[in-house]
Structure 1
Amino acid sequence: MKNVGDLLASKSGNFGLLTALMLPVLVLSAGVAIDTANIFSAREALQHAVDDAVLAASKTNENTDERRATFERVLAAGASNGRTLYNVAGDIDFKGSANSLQATGKASADVKLAFLGRFNFADLHLDLDAVSYQSTQSLEVAMVLDNTGSLGANGIKQLRTAAKSLTEILRKQSEKRKKDNGQEKPITAALVPFVTAVNVRNAEWNPKWLSGFDHNPTTAQDSAYVTGGVSNWHLFADLANADQDEVWPESKYLATGTGDWHDGPYAADSEPARVWKGCVEARAKPYNLDDAPPSASDPETLFTPYFAPDEPGKARPVGNSSKYGSSAGNDADYFNNSYLADDILDGKEYDHPGKPSYGEYEFDGADAVADQRKRQSNVTKYTSASQADLSEISETGSLTNGPNRACPSPIVPLTDDFDGLESSISAMNYFNGSGTNVSEGLAWGERVLSPAEPFTGGGGFNDDKVSKAVVLFTDGENAVFGAQKAKINKSDYGAYGYLDSNRFDTTSKGTAVSHVDDWTKTVCANLRSKNVDIYAVLLNADTNSNRKLYRDNCVTDPANYYAVDNASDLESVFKDIGNQLTQLYLMN
């Protein structure tokens, strides 16, 4: 026989006999296969149903009875997808411990056996369960957010939206945990906007942590830039035509010559252009990268108020640099912060013969370095400043000048006032100039999570009842910006002063950036050693250098590194991070 047709046409009788013998076996096998497939399908449907029901009941903020009702409703709806399931029943139990909340859901059902049931086989009974687990450790999250000028209007808008989305997830989980286990502050969050410096002037700030008139000996901006050891507090007082023992913010405190602080009397004059906005310089090494508490007994641990000096050139409005007034005040090559008139010193005119308007003096001459340094370090221009002289200072918008140039909005220490936190997020703006210093932002991220001063809202590091995380955002690489072709400074002023002051341990811009990268790695290592979970979100900045810095040497897991190409995608990334931070684990 060559084919099936020949087999069927055979009259030998063998095939018919074999078929008759095999038919019951074939039918039984097919029936068992159908019932087996139905059993697996029903079991899968019931498991999905109990999983979904446990998660739904665990996520709701209602009381236990209402959670149980949610469990039963979702279980019934899910089990209806298993067409052979009947007698579906279930229950859920909630159990809390010191650091977790556990929900155990149980479900049972019978599976109809379509074939074997005809031979008096009993229908199959299923008993399944699912367990959800959620940490009830206190959660502390620091959002360390780059507010530099490269963000632009759209970038800062999308960043605000993304940060608020993360905040909303934290808010909802905080409310849920308060109901679940009665924690007073189950989740708190902090905001650290940064450029090259960080603004610490908030409601919780205590001026005793600042270096007063006996300034921090290392970080005080003096020597070549301010003569006679004049402190930054003196300069703000001078600029306000105030007594030199009156210091800011808004003259609410006085400092003695030894740096002791006491209340008032308050001065009536609090002109914003004359007031310390709140930024501070980086501390001296090694305190620049750690959370050592500030103490008057060790002046190196105190924070020096930020004061961006008036740079060489005539007083000019924001939007003009000091290279003949030709640029927008955000110039990589020349001075960007000339806000006081200093065109006459020792009887010498500042104008350089033959130069155009906004005449500059000795930019290219033999005495350029000495003359420009003398102009910049002349403190009499602050004490003699008139209201007219101050008219060129601008602290609104993204391009600013004056002593608070490129100083962002203030830190928000750890709080569960999520409304207030979102208001502060809304107040964030982008600031041109100065550069980008992620190490300084991260150092303050560590400080807001710390239980030690200057902010004391954090739980202990490595405490098994506390979980901590940093969400870092930046849209570029670390950068030292401005004045690279000028005779002095070699950069804009920032948290480390000027580049040629050697506080970067170099006067080379490229080497300085390399050092800031290394400092960033150090702070990341400090945080990881304290069991702080680190996430990094980079917008249009997924460079080889940044991957090596943040993915390989900063985040706690490579999956915590997010490279984002479009600002509109920031919201989904921040939501994903929020969901991970408040994750509900399912076990079955």
Structure 2
Amino acid sequence: MKQVRDKCILWVAGNFKSFLHDERGSLLPMVAGSMLMLTGAAGVAIDGARMFYVKDVLQKSLDSAGLAAGHAMSVTNMENDAREFFNANVSSVAGVVTDSNMVVDISPDNELITLTASASVEATFMRLFGYDAITVSASTEVSRETRGMELVLVMDNTGSMRHDDKIDTMKEAATDLIEIVFGDDETNTNLWAGVVPYITHVNVGDGNYSWLSEAGQDKVDNDYHGTEWKGCLEARTDGEDQTDTPPTVLPFEPFYWADTDPYWKYSRRRGWYSVDEDNNWIDDDTGTVTINEVNNSSSALGPNRGCASAITPLVAEKSKILSAIDVMEPWSFGGTAANYGLVWGWRVISPRWRGLWSGSPATLPLDHDTPYMDKVIVMLTDGVNELISQDSELGGSDYTAFGRLHDFGYTSINDARDEFDTRFDTICQNIKDDEILIYTITFGSTPDTDTQDAYAACASNPAFYFHAPTASSLTEAFEEIGRQLSNLRLSK
């Protein structure tokens, strides 16, 4: 065996020596070159895989940074938000990348964001060819296009808002919301807003006289002695107070608080005495008309008694909305009918009412399926639904858009409240079925548990309901809604 091995070694040695001195052809340089090429190819493959991996991560990091910048509420936050997202994502290749950099360029109109980035990848086999690092780059563009919005604020203007400066707090908070949504501009692309003040009746403005029935127009023309119809309407019957049926299909009747005659009342202390405390604006003896349709429960007289500030329909100008908020004040008449305020908020943005609102563009409200458009209602109350009680001789309550308590079909104030609550729930569901977003707010300590639950259920999303027991919490609630609405408009 040993002899065989020795012979093999001698043969290989002899032949190798001949191979080295053979002049017929040199295979060694070819083999060496082939080995070099194979090594280089392996180096390119390995380093290339690392490069493609880093480029993929770099591109995804850049895309997420661009989306973060596009969703930033303010322009000043765009670059900071972009860098935060970019750094968080690109850190996943920290062991491979030796250096990275991102540049953010924002167009003058703040609508186009261009992001570019580069990263250095440490070479491995490519070092054999003099490359210590390989640079990869990526870029992306984000169009900061905003969604459109029709926004309506449905605001409680009842008498209880007079206490503890609640009306001023609400007006300041609502102003903050509008400032957040509109930003520094007087108008904004595809953004319209409106305001609906409510008590137990709502004022649509006297410019909408054409909405009245023939009988209603005749009443306005002849029965408002010494004054003019301000624009408040009666609630429609047969369930139509819970729909968005337009006046072209079913006209309205004007709100008319009729003159009330003095009546006799008995008490043990005073005996029989004459009561003249509701709305005696026509003297029974002389026929003298006394009109004093001011916001004062003790002295107000006239057919428009308690007809509060008019609705501001959808407009594009921020200043008009701020003015509408500023003129709101508490009206101590009738009580609270949040269901009636809410249904009018719906009518302000329902496309069935397009071209009907005096003072609003004829093209509004837009269709529900208009691309990149949202319809939003923000609803606030500081109390519970209720009617202000009056003597039976006066019909059991103040006069409202639903008539007096007895006209409404009830003898109990609590039963009437329950009916208002039921209608509120129905209107909420009808609006949500109409693909309109609802934000709700209960303000102060007066809204009871049932009211808070009803408003929470009315909101389109649990995050869209806010209970604000204090002035500061109301400000925070409106600011949060403003932020959510701003992000909604930047969600494309």
Out of 268, 291, 307, the residue aligned to residue 407 of structure 1 is 307
Out of 185, 189, 192, the residue aligned to residue 188 of structure 1 is 192
Counterpart secondary structure, 1:499 = coil
Q: What's the CA shift for 1:486?
A: 3.6
Partner of 2:255: 306
Partner of 2:118: 108
1:146 counterpart = 2:160: no
Q: What's the CA shift for 1:311?
A: 3.2
Change (3 A) 1:473 1:112: farther
Q: What's the CA shift for 1:522?
A: 1.5
CA distance in 2, matches of 1:377, 1:72: 62
Partner of 1:570: 474
Partner of 1:395: 294
1:284 counterpart = 2:207: no
Q: What's the CA shift for 1:54?
A: 5.2
Counterpart secondary structure, 2:257 = coil
Partner of 1:166: 177
CA distance in 2, matches of 1:529, 1:475: 26
Partner of 1:200: 204
Give the letter for the 1:88 counterpart: N
Give the letter for the 2:300 counterpart: N
CA distances 1:275-307 after superposition (whole Å, capped 9, x unpaired): 322211111223211121213xx6xx2222212
Checking the alignment, whether the CA contact within 8 Å between 1:134 and 1:583 is kept in structure 2 is: no
Number of residue-to-residue matches in the alignment: 412
Counterpart secondary structure, 2:451 = helix
Partner of 1:385: 287
Counterpart secondary structure, 2:179 = helix
Change (3 A) 1:515 1:102: farther
Alignment of 1:65-104 (within 5 A): 71=79, 75=83, 86=99, 88-90=101-103
CA distances 1:142-192 after superposition (whole Å, capped 9, x unpaired): 1111111111251111111111111112222877964xxxxxxx1000100
Q: What's the CA shift for 1:380?
A: 7.3
Partner of 1:547: 452
CA distances 1:482-530 after superposition (whole Å, capped 9, x unpaired): 21x443410111110101113xx43332221111111111111111111
TM-score of the superposed pair, with normalisation by structure 1: 0.59
Change (3 A) 1:356 1:121: farther
Alignment of 1:222-371 (within 5 A): 231=219, 234-236=222-224, 239-240=225-226, 274-295=227-248, 301-313=250-262, 359-360=273-274
Checking the alignment, whether the CA contact within 8 Å between 2:104 and 2:115 is kept in structure 1 is: yes
Give the letter for the 1:537 counterpart: I
Change (3 A) 1:354 1:406: same
Partner of 1:439: 339
Q: Which structure has the larger Rg over C-alpha atoms? A: 2
Give the letter for the 1:517 counterpart: D
Partner of 1:474: 381
Where do 5+ consecutive residues of structure 1 fail to align?
Answer: 1-42, 95-100, 179-185, 217-229, 241-273, 314-342, 344-349, 362-371
Give the letter for the 2:200 counterpart: T
Checking the alignment, whether the CA contact within 8 Å between 1:409 and 1:428 is kept in structure 2 is: yes
Checking the alignment, whether the CA contact within 8 Å between 1:196 and 1:435 is kept in structure 2 is: yes
Checking the alignment, whether the CA contact within 8 Å between 2:313 and 2:348 is kept in structure 1 is: yes
Give the letter for the 2:323 counterpart: S
Q: What's the CA shift for 1:132?
A: 6.3
Partner of 1:211: 213
CA distance in 1, matches of 2:314, 2:144: 22
Checking the alignment, whether the CA contact within 8 Å between 1:551 and 1:558 is kept in structure 2 is: yes
CA distance in 2, matches of 1:200, 1:563: 28
CA distance in 1, matches of 2:201, 2:105: 52
Partner of 1:31: none
Counterpart secondary structure, 1:409 = coil
Counterpart secondary structure, 1:482 = coil
Checking the alignment, whether the CA contact within 8 Å between 1:85 and 1:111 is kept in structure 2 is: yes
Give the letter for the 2:398 counterpart: D
CA distance in 1, matches of 2:212, 2:317: 26
Checking the alignment, whether the CA contact within 8 Å between 1:54 and 1:103 is kept in structure 2 is: no
Checking the alignment, whether the CA contact within 8 Å between 2:72 and 2:81 is kept in structure 1 is: no
CA distance in 1, matches of 2:442, 2:142: 33
Out of 398, 403, 424, the residue aligned to residue 492 of structure 1 is 398
Change (3 A) 1:385 1:132: farther
Checking the alignment, whether the CA contact within 8 Å between 1:481 and 1:491 is kept in structure 2 is: yes
Q: What's the CA shift for 1:436?
A: 0.6
Checking the alignment, whether the CA contact within 8 Å between 2:70 and 2:144 is kept in structure 1 is: no
Partner of 2:349: 449
Change (3 A) 1:579 1:60: closer
CA distance in 2, matches of 1:409, 1:310: 22
CA distance in 2, matches of 1:209, 1:232: 12
CA distance in 2, matches of 1:413, 1:584: 22
Out of 161, 164, 168, the residue aligned to residue 157 of structure 1 is 168
Give the letter for the 1:547 counterpart: Q
Q: What's the CA shift for 1:463?
A: 3.7
Checking the alignment, whether the CA contact within 8 Å between 2:234 and 2:402 is kept in structure 1 is: yes
Out of 515, 518, 524, the residue aligned to residue 422 of structure 2 is 518
Q: What's the CA shift for 1:58?
A: 6.4
Checking the alignment, whether the CA contact within 8 Å between 1:58 and 1:103 is kept in structure 2 is: no
CA distances 1:100-129 after superposition (whole Å, capped 9, x unpaired): x8857443334899xxx9xx9967978788
**How much is the aligned-residue C-alpha RMSD, in angstroms?**
4.6
Change (3 A) 1:586 1:409: closer
TM-score of the superposed pair, with normalisation by structure 2: 0.69
CA distances 1:204-232 after superposition (whole Å, capped 9, x unpaired): x33111234x249xxxxxxxxxxxxx946
